[in-house]
Structure 1
Amino acid sequence: MRLSTLIRVLPWLLPTATAFAQTNSTATLAPLTVEKIMRDPAQWLGTSPSNIAWSEDSKRIYFDWNPEKNRRDSLYVIAAGGGTPRKVSFREQRGLPTTNARYDQRYTRKVYERDGDIYLLDLKTGKTRRVTNTAERESAPDFALREQLISYLRAGNLFTWDPATGETVQRTDFRKGSKPGDPLMNKEEKFLKAQQLALFQIIRQRDQDRQAREQAQKALAKLRPKAIYTGTQNVSGIVLSPDGRYVTYRLAQEPTGAKTTIVPNFVTASGYTEDIPTRTKVGVPQTTYTLGFYDVARDTTFMVSLRDLPGYNDQPAYLKEYTAKAKAKSAADTTKAAGAKKTTAASERSLVPFGPFWSENGEHAFLVVRSADNKDRWIATLDPTTRKLASLDRQHDEAWINGPGIGYDEGNVGWLPDNRRIWFQSEATGYSHLYTVDAASKEKKALTSGNFEVQEARLSRDKKTWYISANKTAPGEKQFYRMPVTGGALTQLTTLPGASEVTISPDEKTLAVRYSYTNKPWELYVMDNKPGAKPRQLTHSTTAEFESYAWRDPEIIKIKATDGADVYARLYRPASPVAQGPAVIFVHGAGYLQNAHKWWSQYSREYMFNNLLVDKGYTVLDIDYRGSSGYGRDVRTGIYRYMGGKDLSDHVDGAKLLVEKYGVSPQRIGIYGGSYGGFITLMAMFTQPDVFRAGAGLRSVTDWAHYNHGYTDNILNEPYNDSLAYTRSSPIYYAEGLKGALLMCHGMVDTNVHFEDIVRLSQRLIELHKENWELAVYPVENHGFEEPASWTDEYKRILKLFETNLKSTGATGGSTGSGQ
C-alpha cells in the first residue's frame, strides 16, 4: 500500500473521523441530486468487499470486490497481515476449494463440490483428490461411516466412495412410480399359457431359462440397495447413519392443480410478449412431507409417525373467534357451523420433519419438526429400533415461530461434544437465545439471557468455546463475542460502534471483520482474536466523489407508541430547521427487517435520498415499526392478523412526535417506501388522510390475498380460514379514504409483488372517482430495480411529489406533482 493511499485510508479507521462525522451543514463541495445518487453505485459510490473467506493455512483472506468499476465483482486476495489486495486469476480460482464444504471432526480433511464433481482436500499435505469425474452432477458431499467414506448425491440417490480402495458404492435406489408386479391374467390367459408350456419344448426351455435368470438377479439384488418406489413423491434430505445401518429420507408430495400466476414481459429481445410463470397465491394446497427409514440390515423400509409429539394436532386459537361468531347465529347456522368445526378439529395438521441429526459417536439422533402453519416447533430424539420419538422441547407461538437462529427450517442446532446434550436457539423468553437440553434427562439450560438477540452462534473447532454475534450493547449494533461452551459471561471481541460481521480464521487466531457504520459503507478489517485487539483496515472502497459529501449520522431516537411500546427510529434534521417545516417518513421494506441501526443500510439509495431531502429543508424519520427485526418476539409478531395495525400506528405516533417535539407542521408530512413500505404508505394515505398529505408507494402490496403463501400465511393465516385478517390488512378495501396526493410506482415484470396488484388498485381508484393519484410503470423492472434510469425517474417523481405538496400549506387534496 502506497503512503498516499495509507494517508487516505487512515481517517476511515473510526466512524467519527472528520470526513464522516455527523454534520448539520449542507454539503458545499458536491451538492446532491437525484441523478447523482441514483447512478450505478459501482461507478460513483464504490463496491464493498463481500463473501469473506480464509485460506486453509490462515494466511490469506479472499473476498469479492470491484475497485475497477466493472459490471461484476471479481475475487481478490490479501495477506492477513495487510498489503495490497490482488485480483485472483481464473486459473488460480479453479485450484481453490469452494466455501460450501464439510470438514471431518478433527478438521484434517475437507470435502467439497466444484462444477458438479466432488473433491477431497487433505489439509495436512495440501493435496487434493478428485472423487468423481462424470457428466452427471454430484452434490451434497459429506463424511460417512464414522468418516471412513465420502458420501454424495447423484441423480437423487446416495453414493459413497472409499478413499482407501477407491471403491464407489450406491447406497440407495429411489425410483419414481409404483413397484412393478406380475401381470394379472384371467382364466383364459392362464389356460393358454399352460397349454403352450405343455405342447412346445422350446417354450418350456425358454421359460426355464427365464426363471434361472430371475433367480440369479434376485441373488445379485441382495448385494444392491433395495429399490424404493416413491410414486409421485420427491425425495430429499437423504442421510446415512454413522454405522451405515439406516438411510433416512424425506418424501415430499407436491399438490396438484395449484394455479400459477403469469407475468407478461412486454419488452423482449424477440419482439413478442413473453409469459413469465411465477408463483401461486396464499392459501393454495401446500407440499406435505413424511420421513422414511430404510433399514439396510433388514432390507425393509418404514415411515416415522409424528403423531406422538405433544400438541401436534392443537388447532390455532384464532379459530375460536369464528366459532364464537357462529354461535351467535341462528340455530340452523349454529348447527352447521358446529359440524364444520368438528371436521376441522378432526383433520390433522401438516408437519415437516428435518434431520435426523446424529451425535458424533453415532449412538443418538434427534429430529426438528415444524408444523406447516409455523405455530409449533419440536426437538425430539429418535430411536430407529423402536421407531419412537421423545419430545425434548416444544416451542409454541399462536402467531408464528421465527427469529435469529430459528428461521423456518431446522434452525441453528447440533450436538455438544459429550454426545449427550443438544444445543439450539429459541425465543422462549421473547428473545432468541442459546439453550441446551439433555437427551436423556430432558433437563434444559439457558446459556444466554437478556433483552437482546443472539443472531448467530457457532462452536469453536475444539468445541470448548462459543462464538456469538449479538446486539447486546444496543438493538442497533452488532458485536462479536465468545463464551465458554457451558455458558457464562460474554466476552466482547469487537468494539467499533456499528456492525461487525466476523469470519474466523481456521486456526482461530485471527478475525476477518466486515465492518460498517451508519455513514460508512462496509470495509474489510482484520484483528487478533482477543479482547481489546485493534482492527486494521485492509480495503478502501469508496470514491473521492462519494467522500466529497458529508453524509449524515442520523440520531437514533425512541418513540413512545400509543400502546406504551418503545419504537426505535432514525432522525435526520436540517442544520437550521424552519418552524412548521415539512417532514417525510421513510418506511423500510420486507416487514421483518431492521433499518434504525448504526451500520450502512441496505437501503443505501434511500439513505442518500434522505440526505438530499434534509438538504432541501425536510426533517426525515425512518422507523423500525412493529414487525421489524432486532427487537425480539413481541415486536416481530406485533403485526399478527393485522398488518396496517400497530405497524401503521407506529408511523402515526412518529408523525405526532415530529409535530410536538421537532416543530414540524402537521399539514406538511409525507411518507414513502417500497414493497412492505409501499403497503404501509397506501394504508397511511387511505386510513390516515389527515396525518399524511402526500405519499409514494413503490412496488406495493395492495391485497394480501394475492401475495405468496410462505410469507403471508404465517402472519394472516389462510384467506378462507381468517378472512377478517385479510380484509382489515389490505389497502384495496380502504381506497375510498384517499385525500392527499398519491404516487404509485411499479415494475411491470415484478415476479414478487405482481404488477396485477397495482392494476387492480388503479381500477378501484378509477371506480371511486379519485383524481389525485398517478401510476408510473417501469416496463423492464422486477421487484428490485436494476437500471439507474429507472431509479432516477422514480425518485425524481417522488421528490417532485414532496416539493409540490409539502413546501406549502394548501387545501387538503393535493397534487401528485407530475402529469399522468
Structure 2
Amino acid sequence: MTPIARKFAISALSLAVLVGCNATGQQQTKVVTQKTTPQSQVNLVAPPEAQQPLTLKQIMANPDWMGVLAKGAYWSDDGESIYFARQAHQAPIADFYQLGLNSGAKAEKIAINQLHLADQKRGVLSPDASKKAYLYKGNLFVKDLKHGSVKQLTKLNSPISDVKYLANGDLAYWMSNSIFRIHKDSGLIEQIADIKMAKAPKGVQDPSSYIAKQQHRLINYVSMKHEHAKAKEAYKAQVEQQDPTFASKTWYLGDKESVVEMSLSADGRYAFVALVDNSYSWRSEHDIMPNYLGQEGYVDAVPARARVAEDDFPGHRFVLLDLVEHTKKDITIEGLTGFDEDVFAEVKAENAKAQGETYKSETAPRKIQLIRDWTWSQSAIQWHETDNKLLVMLEAVDNKDRWIADVDLEKGKFNTQHRLHDTAWVNYTFNQYGWLANSNDFYYLSEESGYSHLYVRNSEGKTTQLTSGKFVVDNVTAAKDGKHLYFRANIDHPGSYNVYRVSTQGGKVEKLTDWLGTLDYQLSPDETKLLLNASSVITPEELFVQPIGGTIQQVTQYASKEFKAYPWQEPQVVAVPSNHGAGDVYARVYLPQGYDAKSADKYPAVIFNHGAGYLQNAHYGFSGYFREFMFHNLLAQQGYVVMDMDYRGSKGYGRDWRTAIYRNMGHPEVEDLKDGVSWMVNNTNVDVSRVGTYGGSYGGFLTFMALFNEPELFQAGAALRPVTDWAHYNAPYTSNILNTPDIDPIAYERSSPIEHAEGLQKPLLIMSGVLDDNVFFQDSVRLVQRLIELEKPMFETAIYPVEPHGFKQASSWLDEYRRIYKLFEQELK
C-alpha cells in the first residue's frame, strides 16, 4: 500500500474515532481571514506537483473520510447557541448536537429524550413574542421564551400538520382535515372546522315513489316512525345551533376531491382551502420499475411516477369557509389577469403547420394551482398577521404565469396584485413573498427585469423595486419590524454569494458579509447576528457566526485532517467568450501538473457537464460534485486539462440564460461546449483532436447531444444515468422547458437524444442504475436498442442493479469511474 493509500484507508474503527472526536471535542472557534475579491484576470499557472498521486479507489471511497459535516443548522431561541445534525454516509439515523457560542464551548450530542426541547427550527411566535409554538414528531409544544420552560400540549398518535397563533393569542392547529382552537384564557380546546371529503348526508327523506307513499299512507306505524325521525333531526339541528357546548357543524366538501392545503385567518373566522381531484395520481397507470434483487429473491414491482407524456395534472380548486356563519364560497379565477389566454397559440400554430394543418386560437380558462417553489418552505397562502386580508401566490399549470392575488372575502374571487408572465416559463425558484410587519404592504421576488430582484407593493398599489442589476437575489428574510429585507445575492461575481440587506422604503443595499465562495444564512432571533453555512473552492461547508458589522468566526471544523491536508488543486474560474451570442460562459479549469503553455506537446482535455440543467457549478464554493472535483484533480495529475462549464440553462445568471434552452434543449448548451473546447485550445495548449466529455443526468443528456449532433467535437463521451427521451421524464420539470408532447412534439423531437442517435461516430459509454426512479433505466434500454438497430458498434453499457439516481455504494462509484477513466485513457492519450 502506498503512503497516500494508507493515509486515506480509514477503517470503520478509526472513522468512528474521527467522528466521535469531532462531535464532542473542543470547537476551536477562530476568526477567518478570507480572500474576498474574485479574480479579474486569470493567471494560468501550473499547479504544485502532488507528491502523493490520487487513485480512484481513494476518491470514490465512502465519503465519510472527508469528514461528517454539520447539516440543517439553526439558531437557539436565545441566540446563544446553534443546533445541527450530523449523519455518516451510510448511517440510517442522524445525530443531533447543540453548540454554545461562548469561548471554549463543546458541541454536545442531544439525547433522544431531550430532542423535543431543542428549540425547534420551525415554530410560530405569539403576538407579543413571549411564546413559541412548534411541532415535534407531530405533537404540539409551547415554549415560554422568557423563562425557557417547555409545555407539551398534545400526546397523540395522529400527527398535527400545522400550528398558528391567532391575533388574540389563542392557538390553532390542524390535524387531518380538522382545525382546533385552544382558548388561551380557559384552555378549552374547540374544534372550529371539521372538514369531511364526502357527500353531505341526505338526512330523513320524504317518500318519493308510489309504493313508498302508499306505505306511509296506509300503515300508521311506518308514518309515525318517519315523523319521529324528522323531529329528532330537527331537534339535533336546533341543539347544534343553540347549545354553546357543541362544536361547529361539519363541512361536507364532496367525495371527488382531497385537501391539498388549508390556512386560517388571523381571527380564526375564515379557512382558505385548496383542493385537488382524487382521480389524479403521480403514479403511472401503465408501468412499474422492476427491482431484480428483491429481498425475497423475486422481482419486486416498484411504483413508477408518471411521464410528462401521460401526466395530466388538473390544477387546484379553491374554497373559502366562513367558520362563524358556516357559509362556503367557491373562489373564482376570473380576477387573475390572463386567466383565459391562449398562451400556446404560437407554439400550436407552428406544430399544426408542420402537420399541414391550421390552428385557430380560442380563449378558455386555464388550470391554476398554488405555486410550487422547490427552494422554500413558506406557504403560498399568506394571511395578514392582524387583519382579515389574504394573499395567495398562484401559478398556471401551463407554467407561463405566476400571480400574487388578494382574495375578496365577501365576493369569493381573486384580484390580481402582481402578474409575472413569461413566454418561456416562470421559474420554480425566486418566488418568496409575504406581508411586511406592521403594515399592509407586501414584498416579493420577481424575474421581470431579467434577474431575480426584490419589490415592495403598498396598499395603494404602488410598486417599488428595491434591488437592480445583473445579479440574482434569493433567500429573503423580513425583519420583525418590517423595515428591512435581508437576502443573499451574487453581486460581486456570478460565482460568489454574500448576505445583504435593504430598507423596505428603498435606498442603498448594504453588504453584510465579505466572503469569496458560496453560503447560506440565517438571521439570529434578535437580528444582530448571522449563522452562515459557507464554503470555498477547496474547503467543504462549515458553520460560521458573524455579528452584523462584526468579524466572522468559524465555529465548526468537521472536514477531516486527511482531506484538508491534501494539496488539492484549486480550479480557476474563467469567463469563456461565446461565439454564439451568449456573452461570457463561466467555467472552472483544472491544469495538468507541470503545465507549460509553450510546451511542444499538447494536452488531452475533458469537459464535465454538470447535472440538473438548472444548477450552478462554476462558482467559488465547494462543489456538490465533490467526487467529480477529486476526479478532476486526478485527471489533472495524469496530464489532462479539465473544464467544468456553466452552459446556458445553468443557475445564477438570470432569466435569459435560464430560458435560452426553451423548446431547444441540448443545442445552445452544445454551442457553449464548442466555445469551451476552442478556449482550451487557444489558452491551455490543448490538442483539439484529443478532447472528451462526460456527465450524469442532464450532463449525460448533454454528452449524447454533443456526440450525436457534433461528432467531431469530442473523441469520446461517457453518459451517466442519462435522459434519452424527454417524453419519458417527469412533468413538473420537463413541461417548463418543452411544454408537453401533445402540444409541442416539435420541441421534444428536437431535444431528445434518441431522435438524433444516427449521428454517433465516436466511442460512447452508457451507465445507468436499474433502480433509478428519476431517470428510468428504460431510458438507456430504449437508446441501446435504437443504437443496435442503427448498427452503431462504438458504444458500451454498464448497469448497476442496486443503484438509484444518486449512487449509494462506494463499489458502484468506483466501477463507474474506472470505466470513465479507462475510456479517456484509451481514446484521448
The answer to whether the superposition gives a TM-score over 0.5 is yes
Q: Please, which of 582, 590, 595 is the counterpart of residue 572 of structure 1?
A: 590
Secondary structure of the equivalent of 1:391?
strand
Matched residue, 1:528? 547
2:205 pairs with 1:190? no
Cα distance, 1:308 vs structure 2: 2.6
Taking only aligned residues, the RMSD between alpha carbons, in angstroms, comes to 2.5
Cα distance, 1:7 vs structure 2: 12
> TM-score, structure 2 length as denominator?
0.89
Matched residue, 1:348? 365
2:70 pairs with 1:52? no
Q: Please, which of 573, 577, 581 is the counterpart of residue 560 of structure 1?
A: 577
Matched residue, 1:357? 382
Secondary structure of the equivalent of 1:803?
helix
Mapped contact 1:15–1:520 kept (Cα < 8 A): no
| Equivalent AA in structure 2 for residue 526 of structure 1 | V
Counting only pairs closer than 5 Å after superposition, residues 232-251 of structure 1 correspond to structure 2 as: 232-251=256-275
Matched residue, 1:142? 164
2:543 pairs with 1:543? no
2:448 pairs with 1:428? yes
Mapped contact 2:347–2:743 kept (Cα < 8 A): no
Cα distance, 1:260 vs structure 2: 5.0
Task: Provide Cα deviations, 1:749-776, integer angstroms capped at 9, x if missing partner.
Answer: 0000000000000001111111111110
2:297 pairs with 1:287? no
Deviates more, 1:215-224 or 1:563-572: 215-224
> TM-score, structure 1 length as denominator?
0.90
| Equivalent AA in structure 2 for residue 474 of structure 1 | H
Secondary structure of the equivalent of 2:96?
strand
Cα distance, 1:328 vs structure 2: 8.5
Task: Provide Cα deviations, 1:762-798, integer angstroms capped at 9, x if missing partner.
Answer: 0011111111111100000000001000000000110
Matched residue, 1:65? 86
1:324–1:620 CA distance, 2 compared to 1 (3 A): closer
Matched residue, 1:315? 342
Counting only pairs closer than 5 Å after superposition, residues 245-264 of structure 1 correspond to structure 2 as: 245-255=269-279, 259=285, 261-264=287-290
Counting only pairs closer than 5 Å after superposition, residues 85-100 of structure 1 correspond to structure 2 as: 85-100=107-122
Secondary structure of the equivalent of 1:802?
helix
Matched residue, 1:154? 175
Secondary structure of the equivalent of 1:349?
coil
Cα distance, 1:220 vs structure 2: 3.0
| Equivalent AA in structure 1 for residue 177 of structure 2 | G
Measure the CA separation in 2 of the matches of 1:96 and 1:161: 24
Matched residue, 2:534? 515
The runs of 4+ residues in structure 1 deviating greater than 6 Å are: 5-12, 67-71
| Equivalent AA in structure 2 for residue 463 of structure 1 | G
1:460–1:22 CA distance, 2 compared to 1 (3 A): farther
1:472–1:279 CA distance, 2 compared to 1 (3 A): same
| Equivalent AA in structure 1 for residue 540 of structure 2 | P
1:718–1:122 CA distance, 2 compared to 1 (3 A): same
Secondary structure of the equivalent of 1:736?
helix
Deviates more, 1:586-595 or 1:52-61: 52-61
Deviates more, 1:603-612 or 1:305-314: 305-314
Q: Please, which of 747, 751, 754 is the counterpart of residue 776 of structure 2?
A: 754
1:7–1:74 CA distance, 2 compared to 1 (3 A): closer
Task: Provide Cα deviations, 1:367-397, integer angstroms capped at 9, x if missing partner.
Answer: 2221111211122222211334332211100
1:207–1:390 CA distance, 2 compared to 1 (3 A): closer
Matched residue, 1:419? 439
Cα distance, 1:125 vs structure 2: 2.2
Measure the CA separation in 2 of the matches of 1:515 and 1:405: 21
Secondary structure of the equivalent of 2:219?
helix
Q: Please, which of 439, 449, 469 is the counterpart of residue 488 of structure 2?
A: 469
1:503–1:417 CA distance, 2 compared to 1 (3 A): closer
Secondary structure of the equivalent of 1:259?
strand
| Equivalent AA in structure 1 for residue 218 of structure 2 | Q
Cα distance, 1:599 vs structure 2: 0.4
Measure the CA separation in 2 of the matches of 1:269 and 1:15: 52
Matched residue, 2:377? none
| Equivalent AA in structure 1 for residue 395 of structure 2 | R
Secondary structure of the equivalent of 2:825?
helix
Task: Provide Cα deviations, 1:570-594, integer angstroms capped at 9, x if missing partner.
Answer: 1111133353210000000001100
Secondary structure of the equivalent of 1:173?
strand
2:417 pairs with 1:392? yes
Matched residue, 2:239? 220
Cα distance, 1:311 vs structure 2: 1.4
1:7–1:469 CA distance, 2 compared to 1 (3 A): closer
Matched residue, 1:711? 733
Task: Provide Cα deviations, 1:262-281, integer angstroms capped at 9, x if missing partner.
Answer: 11001122111101102001
Matched residue, 2:766? 744
Matched residue, 2:16? none
Task: Provide Cα deviations, 1:468-499, integer angstroms capped at 9, x if missing partner.
Answer: 11111111011011222322212212113112
Measure the CA separation in 1 of the matches of 2:352 and 2:513: 57
Mapped contact 2:457–2:464 kept (Cα < 8 A): yes
1:718–1:766 CA distance, 2 compared to 1 (3 A): same
Matched-pair identity in %? 35
Mapped contact 2:27–2:556 kept (Cα < 8 A): no
Q: Please, which of 307, 311, 333 is the counterpart of residue 306 of structure 1?
A: 333
Task: Provide Cα deviations, 1:649-707, integer angstroms capped at 9, x if missing partner.
Answer: 11111112112222211110000000000000011111111010010000000000000
| Equivalent AA in structure 2 for residue 654 of structure 1 | G
Measure the CA separation in 2 of the matches of 1:467 and 1:488: 13
Mapped contact 1:510–1:526 kept (Cα < 8 A): yes
Counting only pairs closer than 5 Å after superposition, residues 722-801 of structure 1 correspond to structure 2 as: 722-801=744-823
Measure the CA separation in 1 of the matches of 2:804 and 2:625: 17
Counting only pairs closer than 5 Å after superposition, residues 355-754 of structure 1 correspond to structure 2 as: 356-402=381-427, 404-406=429-431, 412-439=432-459, 441-530=460-549, 533-565=550-582, 566-577=584-595, 579-754=601-776
Aligned residues: 777
Matched residue, 1:816? none
Mapped contact 1:158–1:238 kept (Cα < 8 A): no
